Amino acid sequence: MQKSWMGSPLQRREALEGYLWISPWLIGFLIFSLGPIIASLYLSFTEYKIAGNPKWIGLANYTQALFNDKLFWPSLSRTTYYTVATVILGVILSLLAAMLLNQEIRGRAVFRALYYLPSLTPVVAMAILWTWLLQPQIGLVNFLLGEVGIKGPGWLTSRTWAIPSLIMISLWSSIGGGRMIIFLAGLQGVPKELHESAQIDGANAVQRFWNVTLPMISPVILFNTILGIIGAFGVFSLAYVATDGGPSYATWFYMLHLYYNAFSYFQMGYASALAWIFFLIIFVLSYLQIKLSNRWVYYEFS
């Protein structure tokens, strides 16, 4: 006899209890996450300045962003530059740090903790700290450079050096953070037998790394790259505290542009459109990475 799709009374009771237990999360998700997401999608097609009622204007906000906003494309360009540099350098340096800390050395746990400590620094505290260190006249960095006969640049006060300075600060805090730990876990998952077999066949350290280690941790590299791009493209707090988009819009990143349109100019409809453009950019970049990953990522189960 076929059972009812609703199950037995005991199963229905267990299901009801399960929904009751997760109902706080469901209610919170609907009110604080899904609701605002749907509302922002609607507002992106309206002219809305908080004080009044939303006025439907169709695709005007998107047209404004793509064709009429003089700060849109420059902010996107700066964010792309920051993202490319931060992700490439961050992934490479985090992998190198993980490889060093994966060696059988004395005091390895201490070194791992020391490498990880900078990532625990809050973004605001880190930005203020580095603003002092990179101060052109009295900062410690330029003082030390002067001691060896090098005239330090303006760093965060220079249009040329502002973004490289933020990249340096970001790398300082992220190289030994979660990305390194993920790489370390990936390296420890590489079977030692593969390295031993390659060594017996005459492969040197570089060849073993290139032909054994890299293919085995390629899914980890993909994972860290996708997370790195999402995080770097959303850079906000560091630039907001350290430079506030300056000097002369040199660090006016995309999220700063969105923030000021929303909370300084109160163009909530336009800011919502910027947010959905940001979502589409991240979605496309993530999709392309996953789509192209079949060409270079090794999956053991495939």
Please state the domain extents for the chain.
9-60, 70-295
* Distance separating alpha carbons of residues 268 and 169, to the nearest angstrom: 31
- Residue among 46, 32, 24 at smallest CA distance from 268: 46
Residue 189 one-letter amino acid: G
* Distance separating alpha carbons of residues 140 and 272, to the nearest angstrom: 41
Q: Which two structure tokens, joined as six digits, stand for 244?
A: 């506030």
Question: What distances in angstroms separate CA 300 from CA 29, 217, 219, 225, one per listed residue?
Answer: 36, 11, 10, 20
Q: Taking CA 199 as the corner, what is the angle to CA 95 and CA 216, rounded to the nearest 5 degrees?
A: 35
Q: Looking at residue 6, what is its pLDDT?
A: 60
Look up the pTM and report it.
Answer: 0.90
Q: What is the CATH number of domain 70-295?
A: 1.10.3720.10
Q: Looking at residue 302, what is its pLDDT?
A: 44
Q: Specify the DSSP element, H or E, that contains 47.
A: strand 46-47
151-158: list long-range contacts, CB under 8 Å, 24+ apart.
Answer: 156/130, 156/131, 156/242, 156/243, 157/247, 158/247, 158/250
* Distance separating alpha carbons of residues 200 and 197, to the nearest angstrom: 5
CA 69, 72, 77, 80: dihedral to nearest 10 degrees?
Answer: -160
Which residues lie closer than 8 Å to 270 by C-beta, 6 or more apart? 47, 61, 64, 65, 261
pLDDT in tens, the chain (302 residues): 445 556 688 888 888 888 899 999 999 999 999 999 999 999 999 999 988 899 999 999 999 999 999 999 999 999 999 999 999 999 999 999 999 999 888 888 898 899 999 999 999 999 999 999 999 999 999 999 999 999 999 999 999 999 999 999 999 999 999 999 999 999 999 998 988 899 898 889 899 999 999 999 999 999 999 999 999 999 999 999 999 999 999 999 999 999 999 999 999 999 999 999 999 999 999 999 999 998 889 886 54
Which residues lie closer than 8 Å to 266 by C-beta, 6 or more apart? 49, 50, 51
Q: Looking at residue 76, what is its pLDDT?
A: 97
* Distance separating alpha carbons of residues 48 and 262, to the nearest angstrom: 10
277-280: list long-range contacts, CB under 8 Å, 24+ apart.
Answer: 277/62, 277/65, 278/233, 278/234, 278/254
Residue 178 one-letter amino acid: G
Q: Specify the DSSP element, H or E, that contains 55.
A: strand 55-56
Residue 78 one-letter amino acid: R
